[in-house]
Structure 1
């Protein structure tokens, strides 16, 4: 045995509680994914069906009226600001052990935000404390600007999301309260200053959490009618192509997919032992993890970009646009893998975070009767159920991605290339799914 400190970096909260899936489950999931992919390509519909302009079933008018009412917007915004202040109080004055800040940051904000956005829409627009502060400054006669450069696209959000996943997966001490507080301070300053300088568009293109929320919401059954603005229920595949095609969209989704895949890979015993053998300090381990994280993201970018452009019969300008036009098909895969990887993490560590929030200063408070509450490990205690859910999430995400890519190919590719032009993309998606199942199997 050696006395050298272990330099393998853990997850931001000490590792996901999800268990590896059994080998048999992985094989079954892979077989279903492969079969469905080629069934879609060979036998599915021959004309595009999904249209973001297609109306859904409108909810009662009062739903839209209540949601859009200024009092509702301000109440929700005030609640988000109050929650942020509560968490800030815990971060600044609460105990080191049992502090809710890491749970809020890594569980509620990163994973819970996806679940809520998928269920009801881009909720971060309504609850963002930074956006609320900006609105208050506007009320105080802050000059209104609209100077966001179109060429920037989603690139500021890409760097923000990478900064988050780097802190979580590759930084020297991802669970450090000081590191999280510094990250949030930089986020607050950059987001607010950017909005003041560039106008309100900054939030929808540069705020990493708002962009992440919008991406997840594109697969929600709830949406607004593009003509009337009324809230309605519709086919999520009609909503999916409404993701704006902007510079950085492919890299944005690659950061989300590649980082989640790397989280699984970095938890594999073989890789952890490799890091421990070949690094002699926390800094060198962080460097190795940073390189690994960048590699996984780059693989997604390169493979998707090449697959999207690997078709004939299109002119040079259309071929250049194809990766952006196909980018929304990655959203179901991202969502499926996020839930497969972080489901029990959300359910179980999320419970602990809420319990910690009920006593933010560690003084024995019993808010909402949570002082004596205990975490229910409902998923970890039923590994076969958890494994089934994980495989189902990965395969369902794959199926959603294949369907979205197939329909988009029918819309943008010439008639003679609609079948052959899809094969490269479908093979890449199968590769993502097989890799995801392998990483979940071995993680």
Structure 2
């Protein structure tokens, strides 16, 4: 089985193109879809198109009513218990760094990459997006800082006009390291980056204040806050997924850029090892040259995809603003419509990592029994086998495939619904509400086809 290829947040601070051991990428699919590709892509596309047509029939205001949350109780506060959770998370990160530096050099036997990319990036990402605000409890950055300087007064201030642009830049750089670096999953290298990023974050919080730094610069706090707006629950209020986006949140161009970076990165992550992409850059998939030789093509491809998606999306929004009779600001429309892409980014994340997670979570459990490779068998987990037989049984493979495709389609359906709700907030007449979404509706349909095609595409690396 191919080892995971992912990096830690510190990567974008110390990003380097230095060559090193080449590891495979975590996002590699365990198998190639053999179901009738045309049939399931057509079915998913028709579902999204039918949703668009159904929304056309609704009266203005009905989606707003459907998305309106319900308060079930007065709710209760967790007090300061989450602060202790953050401190525990900080201690766990210290232990992981130690294991990364002193433990096995094999990424598949070292808890540093295993825990970070299986538990944090795969599992906690989805928990944050769908279930509850887990990042509030496991964010390791403010816990130690609050313990060290509980009554901290920052000597400097981050300008509000910067908004989250620093986080946008860091997230884009982080994605570049993850996909293009020669050896981003080496445990020692990963641990060094983690330690460096931790120091960078502590320094930033000390100079500019915890809340400002975490809210404007620390890109993972920004990421988890954004995807959390798709959750059904906030405190004691519950509603359909996405209702929080329209409930008092204020966004600007930097938020739009952040969402587009996330979606473009996730899309390219699924694209850059396909036979199609390798053919475009002149690489024979049967003679893959390794990650070191692919640094520049991958880097250019990734950032080109970010630029391309931004241009296509901006054109789709611009087309709608030109067609409507009412005065709708292109900037305002671009900001608000971009947030409706969040469900697609989350759906792609789930589908992209589902197979990897089902296998790697077993490796994590087995590795917990002997974190330092000293021959321990803690909790009796060392004898637990890693089972991958479900990837060879047609019945379970079909379930996995259909789950991935279903989540991708449902994420587009939710995005279409949120898009319609956004159009209703920007226009008053039925005609303009529909025309404002025309370009975006076409884009949603073609992006559905693209996303489902990615699931079916063979990998050449």
- TM range, normalised to the smaller chain? 0.7 to 0.9
Matched, 1:308 2:317: yes
Q: Deviations over 1:318-373 (max 9, x none)?
A: 22221112222111111111111111222221221233233210113233332222
Is 2:29 aligned against 1:34?
A: no
* 1:349-360 matches, cutoff 5 A: 349-360=360-371
Offset at 1:287?
0.5
For the pair 1:147 / 2:157, whether they are aligned, the reply is yes
Give the 3-state SS of the residue equivalent to 2:234 in structure 1.
strand
State the shift of 1:57 in Å: 2.9
In the alignment, which residue of structure 2 is the partner of 1:239?
Answer: 244
369 and 281 in structure 1: CA distance in 2 versus 1, 3 angstrom threshold: closer
How far off is 1:130 after superposition?
A: 1.2
The whole-number CA distance in structure 2 between the counterparts of 1:172 and 1:297 is 21
1:207 maps to which residue?
218
Query: What corresponds to 1:320 in structure 2?
Result: 331
Correspondence 1:126-275 to 2 at 5 A: 126-139=137-150, 141-144=151-154, 147-199=157-209, 200-224=211-235, 231-242=236-247, 243-272=249-278, 274=281
Distance in 1 (alpha carbons) for counterparts of 2:391 and 2:217 = 36
- Aligned to 1:324, what secondary structure does the other structure show? helix
Deviation at 1:9, TM superposition (A): 7.1
Matching residue within 116, 136, 144 for 2:127: 116
Distance 1:256 1:368, change over 3 A: farther
Partner SS for 2:153: coil
CA-to-aligned-CA distance 1:165-188 (integer Å, 9 cap, x gap): 222211122322244234323422
Residue matched to 2:434: 419
1:294 shift after superposition: 1.0
CA distance in 2, matches of 1:103, 1:88: 12
Q: Using a 3 Å threshold, how does the CA distance of structure 1 residues 18 and 241 change in structure 2: closer, same or farther?
A: farther
Distance in structure 2 (CA, Å) of the matches to 1:52 and 1:325:
19
Q: Which of 386-395 and 161-170 deviates more?
A: 161-170
Q: Partner residue of 1:401?
A: 415
C-alpha contact (below 8 Å) 1:107/1:349 kept by paired residues:
yes
Q: Cα gap change, 1:9/1:360 in structure 2, threshold over 3 Å: closer, same or farther?
A: closer
User: Which of 95, 100, 105 is the matching residue for 1:96?
Assistant: 105
Aligned partners of 1:131, 1:358: CA distance in 2, in Å? 29
Matched, 1:17 2:30: yes
TM-aligned CA distance change 1:351 to 1:281, over 3 Å: closer
Change (3 A) 1:379 1:50: farther
Deviation at 1:117, TM superposition (A): 0.3
Give, in whole Å, the separation in 2 of the partners of 1:79 and 1:346.
24
Shift of 1:60: 6.5
Q: CA 1:8–1:259 in structure 2 vs 1: closer, same or farther (change >3 Å)?
A: farther
Aligned counterparts of 1:14 and 1:111: Cα–Cα separation in 2: 11
1:391 paired residue number: 405
1:3 corresponds to which residue? none
Distance in 1, Cα, partners of 2:405 & 2:288: 34
> Is contact 1:102–1:177 with CA below 8 Å preserved after alignment?
yes
Distance 1:190 1:205 in 2: 14
Alpha carbons 2:27, 2:356 under 8 Å: kept: no
1: CA distance, partners of 2:366 / 2:166: 34
SS in 2 for 1:259: helix
Alignment of 1:67-86 (within 5 A): 68-70=78-80, 72-86=81-95
Q: Secondary structure at the match of 1:419?
A: helix
Change (3 A) 1:11 1:408: farther
The offset of 1:157, in angstroms, is 1.9
* Superposed displacement of residue 126, structure 1: 2.4
Query: Would the aligned equivalents of 1:329 and 1:405 in 2 still touch at CA under 8 Å?
Result: yes
1:295 maps to 304
Whether the aligned pair in 2 keeps the contact of 1:18 and 1:343 (CA below 8 Å) is no
Structure 2 gap ranges (5+)? 1-19
Change (3 A) 1:376 1:118: farther
1:348 is aligned to 359
TM-score normalized by the length of structure 1: 0.86
How far off is 1:76 after superposition?
1.4
Determine the structure 1 residue equivalent to 2:443. 428
Question: 1:155 and 1:196, CA in 2 relative to 1: closer, same or farther beyond 3 A?
Answer: same
Secondary structure in 1 matching 2:376 = coil
Query: Structure 1 pair 356/434, CA: closer, same or farther in 2 (3 Å)?
Result: same
Give the TM-score taking structure 2 as reference length.
Answer: 0.83
Aligned residues: 423
